[in-house]
Structure 1
């Protein structure tokens, strides 16, 4: 069964952001600001990409959506970071309505729309466990009875970590967060054009069955200076430096290495 991931990398969509801008030009200026993009690239390199490259089941595709005005030197940097992730495809789009663009991109990526597929969103500053794709496939197989007759079913792993990354390394705290973007996926039956982007992630259970698996930690949610989701009433989380056991867990579970984090953020 095809598995498709979708990452919006500083794409200047119309809508889709909690940080408001009056014009598309203002949004582009905000998203393409060099200081902001530097932080996003560091998070992508040290946090978001290692776990994708280390997936125990490499049978998935990963689409990175960028704007058609994304600066060339930044595009080359993105291409370089994705060079050893063969599952990655960069897709350029002009500024358009957020959900409509993402739905089109996901449906265009389906190899055989008549066959069911798995879909997941992916933020460029988060991480999932290195067995996320494998766990997703196994859980879907185990849920065959539930899937029968359903247009779509959501699968959620709500245990993970909130973390901050910088020159001093990783500071983190374990959390229970149902329906995060990270470690949340959706089964779509064959022939249906519905996508995971049809719905706000926290509202998925309003529209379909949702299987929650609160066992092992499956995600790392980054808190940083340009978190869109931290605007407004963001929940404060007290994070602390990882001890040796925590560093080992982040390496083995999420392929995030504390020494690499220090190097990347000190560059």
Structure 2
């Protein structure tokens, strides 16, 4: 069964952001601002990629959607970060309607006559190293349900909120359903809609959904440039500092290495 993930890496879509901009030029300027891009690349390297590269089931495709106007130095660094990740592929598109472009990117990578498991993934989030293995097993367990429905959602709702910095990791456990990370949609053969045609917290309104809560399956990144944190009146979250045991757990579950985090963030001068 084909499994495809999609990460929008600062793609200047029309729509798809909680914070709006008056013009496309304003959105592009915001997305490619040097301070923001440096932060996105740090989180992508230290939080997002390690768990994906270490999946116990390596049979999946990971699409990284970028804009055609991404500055070349950032595109080169992105390619370097993905060089040892054979499942990853950079897909470049001009600005366009968010849901339509994402649907087209998914379908271009699909074998449309086969069932497909699709997951969305932000560049500052992580999934457990067993995510693909667990997703494939869960999809096989619900074969009868998938046979009756074009779309079925699967959501792992237990994980951690995490914030990396030059001293390591701050994190605390959480259980939040339909948060958009460690979430997938089983798409029937021939169905053209993708997981990105629906708001991650609204999947339950449009299709059968299953929730799994038995183990931590995600890290939800917390940083200054989260799209959801750009609105007024958003309160800061004070996360506890992880000790050696907590850091070891992050490495075991998500392949996130706190020593690597310290090196990268210290080099950037980020406290």
CA deviation profile, 1:205-245 (whole Å, cap 9, x unmatched): 11111110111000000110100022336575441011222
CA deviation profile, 1:136-185 (whole Å, cap 9, x unmatched): 00011111222221111000000000011111110001001100111000
SS of alignment partner, residue 48 of structure 1? helix
Counterpart in 2 of 1:168? 167
Q: What is the 5 A alignment of 1:1-267?
A: 1-110=1-110, 112-232=111-231, 234=234, 237-267=237-267
TM-score when scaled to structure 2? Answer: 0.96
Q: Distance in 1 between matches of 2:142 and 2:229?
A: 34
SS of alignment partner, residue 85 of structure 1? coil
What 5-or-longer segments of structure 1 have no aligned partner? none
Q: Say if 1:234 and 1:139 are closer, same or farther in 2 by CA, change over 3 A.
A: farther
Aligned-residue CA RMSD in angstroms?
1.1
SS of alignment partner, residue 241 of structure 1? coil
Matched positions, count: 266
Q: Distance in 2 between matches of 1:39 and 1:15?
A: 22
- 8 A contact 1:152–1:208 mirrored in 2: yes
